[in-house]
Amino acid sequence: MKTYRIATIPGDGIGKEVIPAGRQVLEQLAAADPGFRFEFENFDWGGDHYRAHGVMMPEAGLDALRDKDAILFGSAGDPQIPDHITLWGLRLKICQGFDQYANVRPTRILPGIDAPLKRCRREDLDWVIVRENTEGEYAGAGGRVHQGQPIEAATDVTLMTRAGVQRILRFAFNLARSRPRRLLTVVTKSNAQRHAMVMWDQIAREVASEFPDVSWDKELVDAMTARMVNRPASIDTVVATNLHADILSDLAAALAGSLGLAATANLDPERRYPSMFEPIHGSAFDIMGKGLANPLGTFWSLVMMLEHLGEAVAARQVMAAIEAVTADPRLHTRDLGGTATTLQVTAALCAWLRANPLLRAAA
Ligand code: NAD
Ligand code: MN
């Protein structure tokens, strides 16, 4: 029997609530005897670790993760520690250390969800946003000089490499090709940013010629926000830089009903390192510790994890369970306008999996 070694890193805030819920779902799935099992190892890295040891994760932390099949991550962000320290000390350390260059963010309006766009039908919004995840605006290049002086200066330098841009565009074209509409929108800001973004556009044209069966168009990022709201059905797969896609995918999540539903995969497509799966939301200081967090973004990230592991049947099963939960308004958490708790949603989803043991039949 196949054993998948999963690292769980709850991190901070509601990460500590949704990641145990995600593990419970995986355990329920494995209980149906689908032909595989999970072996979990939990890592208590994050703000508490920082208070105790002065770092978000140990120096050799990546080595403890290296032989895992996948990483399930919660959130990095603590009310008492500056955000750039928590983010760079944990999540970005893993994404960059394991060269997880493709960040993939699917967005759909799930059954039963009251999305904010009046004229948008459910079938109009079915997107996947691909975010470059290792360089660009978040390369970490830059510095501060004359700190505290009137002449203080600071830079954050966007760094685009031909290899980095080429590989993310190839990944996006491939992903677009695998979806029924075979349609990719390449987002840049090559009118105002006249070096790196112009190179990005040029490489997009080159890579596009390798994919004659994929239709593609270009959009400037500001125009893209309006297009997402006004013409959602004109979009299928999207590729953008680290910063631009970060912002567009929060907008996408809100347009699909809630940040609490949105999931993401940080992939090393070459599989040299473990990939990392997480809800896109952060620590949610305003609701942490209250049992109100929506765990469905984490559950959707499990679907992406199962797909990556090659367990397509199990992935579809968990997605069906998520859709059964969202279809029932009594199981909506507060972010969706309901009163259900994290534990209630988790229990309902596990009960659905127990009642629908399709896996055993299919395995
Ligand atoms: P956030 O995602 O934590 O919260 C934004 C809003 O959405 C809040 O009102 C929150 O209550 C709500 N929300 C988010 N997830 C929810 C869920 N599952 N269920 C119900 N409501 C939910 O974003 P923020 O406030 O900008 O950031 C808070 C902290 O988290 C910061 O330290 C930030 O750096 C960090 N952060 C980390 C990650 C990550 O590790 N991947 C991502 C985003 C933010
Ligand atoms: Mn973000």
List pLDDT tens digits, range 148-178: 999 999 999 999 999 999 999 999 999 999 9
pLDDT(361) > 80: no
Select from 255, 289, 307 the last residue of a domain: 255
Pocket probe mutation, ligand 1, options 12, 75, 100, 280, max atoms within 8 Å of Cβ: 75
Angle at which helix 342-355 crosses helix 15-31, to 10 degrees, equals 10
CA of 281 to the centre of ligand 2 (A): 7
- pLDDT tens digits, 66-82: 999 999 999 999 999 99
* Same domain, yes or no: 131 and 248: yes
* Same domain, yes or no: 16 and 80: yes
* Same domain, yes or no: 86 and 121: no
pLDDT(363) > 50: no
Cα 202 to Cα 162, 186, 239: the distances in Å are: 10, 11, 14
Domains: count for the chain: 2
Measured over the CA atoms of residue 67, residue 72, residue 74 and residue 77, the dihedral's sign is positive
* Same domain, yes or no: 99 and 124: no
- Phi then psi for residue 77, to 5 deg, are 160, 120
Ligand nearest to the CA of 246: 2
Question: Which residues are placed with Cβ below 5 angstroms of ligand 2, an ion?
Answer: 246
Query: Which residues have CB under 8 Å from 187's CB, separation 6+?
Result: 218, 219, 220, 221, 224, 238, 239, 240, 241, 244, 245, 248
* Same domain, yes or no: 91 and 215: no
- pLDDT tens digits, 88-98: 999 999 999 99
CB atoms near residue 195 (< 10 Å): 10
What pTM did the predictor assign? 0.96
The pLDDT value recorded for residue 33 is 86
Domain of 185? 116-255
The two three-digit tokens of residue 24, written as one number: 């419970």
Is any atom of ligand 1 closer than 6 Å to the C-beta of 266? no
Q: Residues 88-117, buried b or exposed e (16+ Cβ, 10 A)?
A: bbbbbbbbbebbbbbbbbbbbbbebbebeb
- pLDDT tens digits, 303-318: 999 999 999 999 999 9
CATH of the domain at 52: 3.40.718.10
Say which amino acid occupies 346: T
Cα 149 from chain centre: 39
The pLDDT value recorded for residue 102 is 98
CA of 147 to the centre of ligand 2 (A): 28
- pLDDT tens digits, 105-126: 999 999 999 999 988 999 999 9
The pLDDT value recorded for residue 240 is 98
Select from 217, 236, 255 the last residue of a domain: 255
Ligand nearest to the CA of 74: 1
Is any atom of ligand 1 closer than 6 Å to the C-beta of 19? no
> Within 12-111, where are the H helices?
15-31, 47-53, 61-65, 83-86, 92-97
Is any atom of ligand 1 closer than 6 Å to the C-beta of 287? yes
> Quick one: pLDDT band at residue 227, thresholds 50, 70, 90?
very high
The two three-digit tokens of residue 48, written as one number: 């508490």
Average pLDDT of the segment spanning 291-295: 98
* Same domain, yes or no: 130 and 200: yes
* Same domain, yes or no: 125 and 154: yes
Please list the active-site residues.
Answer: 138, 189, 222, 246, 250
Cβ atoms of residues 10 and 279 within 8 Å: no
